[in-house]
Amino acid sequence: MKLIPLMISIAASSLLASDAISIEQIVVAETSSDNDELITDTNLSAGTQTYGAKSIATLSTQANMNPYTVVAFSPSVNFTPVDQAGSNEPSYHDPIRIRGKSQSGPGGVYMINGMPISSNPGGGKQMLDMENTASIDLLKGYLPVDKNLGFSSLIGKVDMNILNPGKKTGATLSQSLGSDNFNRTFVRVDSGDLGDVALFGSLSRLASDKTKGAGDLERYNGMVGLSYTPNNAFKAELFAIRNSDDHYNYGSLSYAQASDLDTYFNKDFATTQPTVSDDVDYYEWNRQSFDTTAVLANFEYRPTANDTLSFKPYYKTDKGDYWFSNMSKKRVMDWRMDHDLFGGTAAYEHKFSDALTSKAGYWYHKQQPPGPPSDQKKYKVVDGALVYDGYGILADNDYHVLQSPFIELSGTIGRFDYTVGTQYQSFRIGALKSYTFGTNASTSADYDTAIANGTLDSWASVGAKTFHTWMPSLYL
């Protein structure tokens, strides 16, 4: 036992007695693309926390489709999905709170490449697979002028940055299995550089049973991306996404039931179809089905090293049905949605020095409701069968239009970062023409026919209204 210390002592004495050892200079030419941090705050003046590839791989769930499961690890963020996939929602809005605030209105916190391409309610709220995501930016509190976009910015933004086509040919394949028949397959193929062009394509399928009650989830997603870089001054990127999502809703608990989880923990919608009238408690009458298509692009031109011109157009269309039981009115509702949105941002940025960078731009956004709803059919239950009973809501809603010029100054002076800017936002809420009053079982189930033959209810209708708002901002 005493032999080892003796040998170490002799070896140390020999080293001290030998000549000095010289080491040639070591130069590090590259840095690692990732680090040990899961959340980075590289520039606090941007008010942004960034989750890189390592963060996404570590913090995301096996469903790999919902960015909120990643940013939920940030302080002051609370995300409470009702299942392991994170696709379901207990209401018409995603169950996320940032700094105690929940999202509201026909918009969301979800952005892709800085473009406000989400809408609520409806489908496509998780239409970007995590494997196609390079990083996620969480913005809470202050929002830069070029990120304060979309129908609502009340609680902040979650901006997903797409993983561009790889420079080398390659493929990614992942397979996940789990309880409740969870099964997810993802495959992505990158072409590598083909001259000035690079491409990628991906497909994924997700299936899972509900964690309680009857019903399941099935999601199909396809995405293609193209980048074109003919020189160092210009680049163009184009992406297209197709997402199909079908899933059953979860039943909610009353306060009394939630106070007695030993009894009601597994309570959900009834699994057996009713045989009596006015019983709307059945899982098949509480489900969602949406098909969503999105196209977005980024064009960037740098005439000099200090000047950047950019243009980001986007488009999304969403169509589907949201079925739910109205227990108090003893009706089953079919909320049909067929809406789209489109817009774009254009900006010019000039860097004078590290202490001063200026940015000026313009944003335009046009979005079709909901909200509010325009097409909700109602059904009554007669001897256990659904019988058409007219419309719960029948309306003709115009587009909402938002537009905003913006300007921003930012920079770093020593260890001091600052950002100051302002927006002048014009927000036009579309007119609403209501035809609900007087509808009944004899009203045509075809929406266009029902509108054409309907009677305008002036008391329930409202004209368009435009709001103009200055939004100055300062972040230090």
Spans of all domains in the chain: 35-475
Determine the pLDDT at residue 24: 63
Phi, psi values for residue 384, rounded to 5°: 85, 0
β strands within 280-415, DSSP E = 287-304, 307-326, 331-353, 356-367, 375-382, 385-397, 400-413
| 448 — pLDDT class (breaks 50, 70, 90) | very high
pLDDT value at 205 more than 90: yes
The pLDDT score that the predictor gives to residue 428 is 96
Instruction: Determine whether domain 35-475 maps to CATH 3.40.50.720.
Output: no
Q: Is the dihedral of CA 380, 90, 161, 189 positive or negative?
A: negative
Of 120-129, 221-230, 286-295, 355-364, which gets the smallest average pLDDT? 120-129
The arithmetic mean of pLDDT across residues 364-382, rounded, is: 93
121-130, 168-177, 277-286: range with lowest mean pLDDT: 121-130
- Cβ-Cβ contacts under 8 Å for 260 (sequence gap 6 or more): none
Element (H or E) spanning 470, and its range? strand 465-475
pLDDT band at 84 (very low <50, low <70, confident <90, very high): confident
Q: What is the pLDDT of residues 169-198, one digit of tens each?
A: 999 999 999 999 999 999 999 999 999 999
pLDDT band of 6, cuts 50, 70, 90? very low
User: 187: part of which helix (H) or strand (E)?
Assistant: strand 182-194
CA contacts within 13 A on the Cβ side of 146 = 23
At 376 the pLDDT is 96
Q: Which residues touch 200 (CB under 8 Å, ≥6 apart)? A: 164, 165, 166, 188, 189, 190, 191, 224, 225
Q: Which of 14-23, 372-381, 411-420 is the least confident region? A: 14-23
Q: Is it the case that residue 14 has pLDDT exceeding 50?
A: no
Predicted structure pTM score: 0.88
Q: Assign 114 a pLDDT band (cuts: 50, 70, 90).
A: very high
Average of per-residue pLDDT values in the chain: 89
Q: Which amino acid is at 55?
A: S
CB-based contact 154:101 (threshold 8 Å): yes
Largest CA distance in the chain: 105
pLDDT, tens digit, 9 for 90 and up, residues 293-348: 999 999 999 999 999 999 999 999 999 999 999 999 999 999 999 999 999 999 99
What average pLDDT does the segment 454-471 reach?
Answer: 96
pLDDT given for residue 124 in this prediction: 81
Distance, in Å, from the CA atom of 434 to the CA atom of 260, rounded to the nearest integer, reads: 42
Q: CA Rg, the chain, in Å?
A: 27
